[in-house]
Structure 1
Amino acid sequence: MTILQIDSSITGDNSVSRVLTRSIVEQLRAASPGANIVARDLVDEPLDHLTLAAFADTAVLDEFLDADTIVVGAPMYNFAVPSQLKAWIDRIAVAGKTFHYTDEGPVGLAGDKRVIVAVSRGGYYDADNSFEHVEAYLKPMFNFLGIEPEFVHADGIAVGPVQREAGIASGLAEVERLAA
C-alpha cells in the first residue's frame, strides 16, 4: 500500500491542515504498518503553474496513479484552495489517464483510490455557505476523476485561541472517527 501525503499550507509548523494530515497518515500507517509513505510539500517544492511544457512532465501524475490512498491538506485561503494545490490538481486531472470523455459525458478513471481531505478554515463555513469554495471545489473535482473524497474539518482557527484549539480538537476527533 502506498500513501501519498500532499501538504499545501504556507504556515509551516503553525499549520492546522498539516496537523490533520499528519494525524491521518499516522492512523493509516497504524492500520497498515508496511505502507510506503510518499510526502509532497507543495510549498517547499512548488509546482509551476500549468503550461504545455510543464504538462509534459508526468512525475506528479505518476506519483498520484501509484498511490492507493491520498491525504490532501487543504487550507482555505481567500475562500478557496491555495494556488499550490490547484497547480497539483492540474497535474493529476489528465484526459485519458484519470478521466475520459464519452458520448454520455466524462468518466473518471481513478476510482480505485481513497482520498481524504483535511480542510482548515479560519472562520465557520458549511458546504451550503456561498463563501466556501474548498470542499465545494474539491468534491466535484475528485468526483470527476471517479473518486468520492472523504473530508475532515477544522473550523474557526482564526477567530481566537480558544476557537482555534476547539477547531483542531474537532478535526482530530473526525480523524479518529474516520479511522474507527
Structure 2
Amino acid sequence: MTTRALILTSSILGENGQSIALAEHFRSLAAGRDDLEITARDLVADELPHLTQPELASWQVPAGERSAEQRELASRSDDLIRELLEHDVVVLAVPMYNLGVPSQLKAWFDRVLRAGETFRYTENGPVGLIEGKRAVILAARGGEYAGTAMDSQTPHLKGMLGLIGIAEVEVVFAEGLAMGESHREAALKEAKQAIEGLVQAL
C-alpha cells in the first residue's frame, strides 16, 4: 500500500531556508521508498494571493451557477482541497516569521479551511470533515520558543489542522538556528534524526 505525502514549503529564502533543508531531507529519505509517493508544493514560487471578499463569495454560489470569474476564483480552493484529500500525510515545512507563520502558508490555510467542505458548524462547535489524515510540522526557528508563551505558531498550526479533522500531528523543532554555528549544526542534526524516525514509521 502506497502512502502519499504532500510537502508544503513556505520559506522566502528559497534554497537557503533551513525549513527548506528539513523538507528536502524528508523528501530525500522518502525517495528511497517504493511505498511512499511525494507531492511538493512551494507556496512562495506558486504564491496564492490574499483571500478577498469576491473569492470568498464565489464559494457560496452553487458550482453550476457560478460566473466565469467565480469559477476561476473558486477553483483555487477547490483544487487545493482536492489535492489535500488525495494525500495521507501533510508535511508543513514552516519558518517562524515574527512569531507567526508565513503569510504564504496562511493563504493556503485560508483556502482549505472552508466551512461546508472541510469542516462544518454544529450547535456544539465546529467539526472537522477530513478523516484519516495526519500531519508533520517541520519548524525552523532562529531562537528557542518551543514550550514557551512566545510560541504562538505551534498551537496556531495545530488549531487550524484540528479544525478540519487532522488531530494526529507530529512536530519536529529545529531551534536556535541563529544562535551560533555549533548550536545550529546540533539543532539541525537532531531535527534530521527525528525526521528519519518519522519517515521510517510511515
| TM beyond 0.5 | yes
- Structure 2 CA distance for partners of 1:35 and 1:54, relative to 1, 3 Å: farther
Q: Which moved more, 1:78-87 or 1:56-65?
A: 56-65
User: Where does residue 2 of structure 1 map in the other structure?
Assistant: 4
Compared with structure 1, are the counterparts of its residues 102 and 29 closer, same or farther at alpha carbon in structure 2 (3 Å cutoff)? farther
C-alpha separation in 1, matches of 2:114 and 2:32: 32
Q: Deviations over 1:96-153 (max 9, x none)?
A: 22111112211111131121110011001123x1221221210111111111211111
Deviations 1:155-178 (A, max 9, x none): 011112111111111111211232
Aligned to 1:139: 158
| Native 8 Å contact 1:153 1:174 kept in 2 | no
Q: C-alpha distance in 2, partners of 1:28/1:112? A: 20
Superposition misfits of 4+ residues, deviation over 4 angstroms: none
Q: Kindly tell me: are residues 124 and 10 of structure 1, through their superposed partners in 2, closer, same or farther at Cα, counting changes over 3 Å?
A: same
State the AA in 1 paired with 2:105: L
Counterparts of 2:30 and 2:89 in 1: how far apart (Å)? 9
Taking the aligned partners of 2:83 and 2:194, their CA distance within structure 1 comes to: 27
- Work out whether residues 30 and 37 of structure 2, in 8 Å CA contact, stay in contact via their aligned partners in 1: no
Structure 1 contact 48–54 (Cα < 8 Å) conserved: no
Q: Which runs of 5+ in 2 are unaligned?
A: 57-73
Q: TM-score, normalised by structure 2?
A: 0.81
For residues 163 and 170 of structure 1, the distance between their equivalents in structure 2, rounded to whole angstroms, comes to 11
Residue 11 of structure 1 and its aligned partner are, at CA, apart by 1.0
Counterpart selection for 1:60 from 57, 80, 87 = 80
1:43-92 deviation line (CA, Å, top 9, x unaligned): 11110011244442222222112211111111101011011110011111
Cα distance, 1:80–1:96 mapped onto 2, change above 3 Å: same
In structure 1, what residue type is equivalent to 2:79?
A
Q: Is the 8 A contact 1:74 1:134 kept in 2?
A: no
How many angstroms apart in 2 are the aligned matches of 1:4 and 1:99? 20
Q: Kindly name which structure, 1 or 2, has the bigger radius of gyration based on alpha carbons.
A: 2
Number of equivalent positions = 178
SS at the partner of 2:159? helix
Q: CA–CA distance in 1 between the matches of 2:164 and 2:28?
A: 26
CA contact (8 A) 1:73 1:117 kept: yes
Asked if structure 2 preserves the Cα contact closer than 8 Å seen for 1:81 and 1:133, the reply is: no
Sequence identity (%)? 40
Matched, 1:20 2:22: yes
Structure 2 counterpart of 1:46, one-letter code: E
For structure 1, the 5+ residue unaligned runs are none
Q: Kindly indicate whether residue 134 of structure 2 is the aligned counterpart of residue 114 of structure 1.
A: yes
The residue type equivalent to 1:162 in the other structure is S
Amino acid in the other structure paired with 2:95: P
- CA RMSD in angstroms comes to 1.7
